[in-house]
Amino acid sequence: MKGFSLLEALIFGALSCFALYCVSQLLIKPAQMQRTLNASEAPHEAVHALDILVNDLKSAAPGSIQWDTQSSTSPLVFAQSRFNPDTKKFDPVVMAYGYEGTESGPGRLMRVESDTTTMILQPIDPPTAATPLFFYDSALHVIMVDIRYHPAGKATMRLVRRVALSQ
């Protein structure tokens, strides 16, 4: 008998396919890992900006957010209680987060505390009815922050944080 039997050809074909599959996975693994690392590396300024916002929201005075008066493009306004050593009482301090910039191009996320305005993060996309910066779920008392950030030298990143508030 000369040549290969059908059974030998099938076994050789199956082993060859399995070997090619294993080698291809080894070859594409480094590229997949690099893409995953690039996607997970949110710039430090973005993480820091969202941490400031979340910490301010967590310390918001209960009941200071008007859940029914918010629109998709309005700023997030709330109050915090601060101890006044002169009067020995807690006084409300009004805080606001919102978008500042043109309606067509990137702008910045601003923080307003009393009379002090601070730029938190730039450049970000402007809020629209379809893509608001702040989404309110009044039933669960949750605020979702959804920012499209344009870091220098990288693709646009979507930064999302959810904050549950006490009422």
pLDDT digits (tens, 9 = 90+) for 12-55: 999 999 999 998 888 888 888 877 776 666 677 788 888 999 99
By the 8 A CB rule, do 103 and 73 touch?
A: no
What is the pLDDT at residue 41? 64
By the 8 A CB rule, do 121 and 149 touch?
A: yes
Longest dimension (CA), the chain: 106
Residue 50 burial by Cβ neighbours in a 10 Å radius (0-12, 13-18, 19+) = buried
Query: pTM of the prediction?
Result: 0.69
Q: Domain spans of the chain?
A: 1-41, 45-164
pLDDT digits (tens, 9 = 90+) for 103-151: 777 889 999 988 889 999 989 988 888 888 888 887 888 888 888 988 8
Rg (CA), the chain: 26
